[in-house]
Chains A and B, each alone.
Chain A
Amino acid sequence: MSSYLNISLSALLMASASIAFSAPGLAASKASIRQNADVDPRGQVLSLSCAGCHGTDGKSAGIIPSFYGKSPEYIESALRDFKAGERASTVMMRHAKGYTDDEIHLIAQYFGTVWGKNK
C-alpha cells in the first residue's frame, strides 16, 4: 500500500497536463508509472533501443551490464569511452560509434534519471 501511494504521489507531482491521463495507469500498476512530461523526447527515442539488450530502463537480468541506478555522468563517460575504443567491449564500440557526443549526453541523461522516476 505504501509503495502504491509513493508512486501515485510522484506521478501526481508531474505537470498537471499529464495528471488526468495518468489515472488509468495508476490503477493499472506500479510498472506503468514511468517517465512523463519532463523527459526529453529525443533522448527518449535515442535510448529506448538500448533496453533491447540491457533490459527495460537498463535493468539487465543477465551478464550484459545493467546501468539501472547509475548516474548520468557514469553512463556518459562509459559511452564516450566505448566510442573512443578506450573501454574493452565486444559489441559496444560498434554501437557507440553510431551516436554523436550530444546524443550520448541525451542517452546518459535519460537512463541516468529514469530510475529515479520509477520510485
Chain B
Amino acid sequence: MSTNISRRDFNRLFATGVAGAALGMFGTSGAAFAAGYRVVVIGGGFGGAATAKYLKKLDPSLSVTLVEPKAAYVTCPFSNWVLGGLRTMKQITQTYATLARRYGIHVVPDTVVGIDTEKGTVKLKGGRVLGYDRLVVSPGIDFKWSAIDGYSEALAESKMPHAYQAGPQTLLLQKQLHAMKNGGTVLICPPGNPFRCPPGPYERASLIAYYLKQHKPKSRVIILDPKDKFSKQGLFNKGWKRLYPEMVEWRGPAAGGKVLSVDGGAMSVRTDLGELRGDVINIIPPQKAGLIAFTAGLTDDSGWCPVNPTSFESTIHKNVHVIGDACKAGAMPKSGFAASSQGKVAAAAIIRLLRGKEPVAPSLVNTCYSLIGKEYGVSVAGVYQLAPSGIVEIPGSGGLTPIDASDDQLMQEAMFAESWYTNIVRDIWA
C-alpha cells in the first residue's frame, strides 16, 4: 500500500480534505457510502445497454439498474450474416454479465409493466417496484400486426417469420431456407417508412442470395416493396447485378410491391397485381414503439415517442428519457448504432441534469455497414447536430460508399464491417 501512495500524494489527499474518508473507504469497499442518484434503464439492447454502461463509466457514483427480461440478447445487426452462413447465432448473442461485474450495474431480469411518472417508480412483472431519479426507456420496436390482412404473431411464429427481432425468428427463417428446394422462391416484404434498420431487408436479400448461390443456385429472391426507393439503393442494385444476376429482383409499388394480404395456408401474398406464391415468405410488418412506451403514455399519434433532442427527455413526461428505435430522432435512422449514440448523449445529459446543470449541445452519429457478398461491403455514415427544426444531418458530411468504389474498397468495407461489429458490441456489452 505505502509503495503506491507516496508521501507527497498523501499530503495532497489531506490538502483536499478527503483523505480520512478515502482511507476509510479502502477498508470498506465503499459499502459504507450511500449510493448516488438512481437511474433505471428499461431495455438491454443497443440503446439501453449503452446508456447503462456509459452512465456508470462517466459517473460511477450513480446507482444504475438495467431491466431486461432476456438473459441473452441476440443482435439484429449481423443476424443477416447468420442467414448467409457467415456467423453462428452464438456469435451474435450478447449477455449482461460484464455490465454487472465490471461496471456495477444492477441487472434485473424482469419486464417493466408500468411506469408511475408522478411518483418516479417502475413496476416489474415480478411484483417489485423500483424508484428512479431519472428513467431511460429503450424498448425498441413492436409490430403493427393488423396492418397486413391475414398476418399475425402466430403466423410469424409458425410460417412467415419477420426475423426483425433476432433470436428464434432468425432461426425459423434460417430453418426454412435450409429446407427449401433448389429452385424455390423467397419473398422478402419490407414495410414502408419509418422502420428499424432501413438497409436491413436489402442486406437480407443479399445474404440469403449468398447462401442460395452456393447451395440452391436455381432459387430466386424477390423483394416486394411498398416504397419507391430504399436505403443504399444504387449500391444494392449494383451489387445484386454483379453477384446475383437473375437471382435477386426488387419490385416497387408500381410493379406489385405492396403486399395487401397474406395467406399462411397457401403460402402466398396478394398484391395489386395478384397472388404470388413463396416457398419462404419473410414479412417485415410496419412498426411502432415498444409496448411499455404506449403503456406509459410516452407516444404521440405517430406511434413513436417525441423527445427533447438535447437530452432525449420525453416531451410528455419529465425525468423520463426515450432513446433508440422508439424515439423520434429527426433525421437519424432507427439503427443499433444510432440507438447507442443517443444512449451516450442521454447518459451525459442525465449526469449533468442530476447535478443541476444544462446538458451540452448533442453530437450524434450513425454508421451502418451492409454486406452484399462475403467480400463486398458498403456503408452509410451520418453525423448529426441540433438545428431549430430538430436533429439534422450536417451538410457536406456523411453519405454512402461511392457508387464507383473499387473492388479493394468494397473488400475493405466488408472487413471494416466485421470490425465494426466486434467493437460496437464490446463498446456496449463489455
Contacts and interface: CB of A to CB of B under 8 A. Distances in A.
Interface residues of A, number: 55
Contact of A16 (B16, B33, B63, B341): B16
B9 interface: yes
Interface string A1-26: 11001101100110010111111111
A91 B379 contact: yes
B344 to A, nearest CB: 4
A96 B397 CA distance: 7
Main secondary structure of the interface of A (DSSP, over half): helix
Given A24-B36, A25-B104, A45-B348, A32 B57 contact: yes
Given A20-B21, A21-B36, A31 B57 contact: yes
A95 to B, nearest CB: 5
A8 B420 CA distance: 33
Interface string B60-81: 1101000000000000000000
Contact of A32 (B104, B337, B364): B104
Nearest to A83: B397
A52 B63 CA distance: 24
B30 interface: yes
Contacts of A54: 423
Interface stretch (B165-173, B242-250, B286-294, B411-419): B411-419
A12 B13 contact: yes
A16 B103 contact: no
Contacts, number: 200
Interface in A9-61: 9, 12-13, 16, 18-35, 41-42, 44-46, 48-56, 60-61
B426 interface: yes
Interface in B81-123: 101-104
A56 B348 contact: no
B426 A61 contact: yes
B401 interface: yes
Interface string B1-39: 101110001001100111101100110011101011000
A101 to B, nearest CB: 14
A84 interface: no
Interface string B397-430: 1110100000001001101101110111011000
Interface residues of B, number: 72
Nearest to B349: A45
B61 A21 contact: yes
B12, B101, B413, B422 — most chain A CB neighbours (10 Å): B422
A26 B56 CA distance: 11
Nearest to A47: B363
A49 B26 CA distance: 34
A63 B419 contact: yes
B362 interface: yes
A30 B9 CA distance: 20
Given A48-B344, A53-B424, A16 B17 contact: yes
B18 A12 contact: yes
B103 A49 contact: no
Contacts of A13: 9, 12-13, 16
A34 B58 contact: yes
A87 interface: no
B345 A48 contact: yes
A70 interface: no
A45 B363 contact: yes
B16 A19 contact: yes
B395 to A, nearest CB: 9
Contact of B383 (A24, A53, A95): A95
B9 A49 contact: no
A43 B133 CA distance: 26
A13 B18 CA distance: 9
A28 B103 contact: yes
B101 to A, nearest CB: 7
Given A23-B30, A35-B58, A97-B397, A49 B419 contact: no
* 10 nearest A-B residue pairs (beta carbon): A25-B60, A98-B383, A21-B61, A62-B419, A28-B104, A27-B30, A98-B397, A49-B365, A23-B33, A48-B344
Given A19-B22, A55-B423, 16 more contacts: A5-B26, A9-B5, A9-B9, A24-B63, A26-B29, A28-B103, A31-B102, A34-B57, A34-B58, A52-B423, A53-B367, A56-B57, A91-B381, A94-B397, A98-B394, A103-B363
Interface of B: 1, 3-5, 9, 12-13, 16-19, 21-22, 25-26, 29-31, 33, 35-36, 54, 56-61, 63, 101-104, 337, 340-341, 344-345, 348, 352, 360-365, 367, 379, 381-385, 394, 396-399, 401, 409, 412-413, 415-416, 418-420, 422-424, 426-427
19 contacts: A22-B60, A24-B104, A25-B56, A27-B31, A28-B104, A34-B58, A41-B352, A48-B54, A48-B341, A48-B344, A49-B344, A51-B344, A53-B423, A60-B423, A63-B416, A91-B401, A94-B381, A97-B398, A98-B385
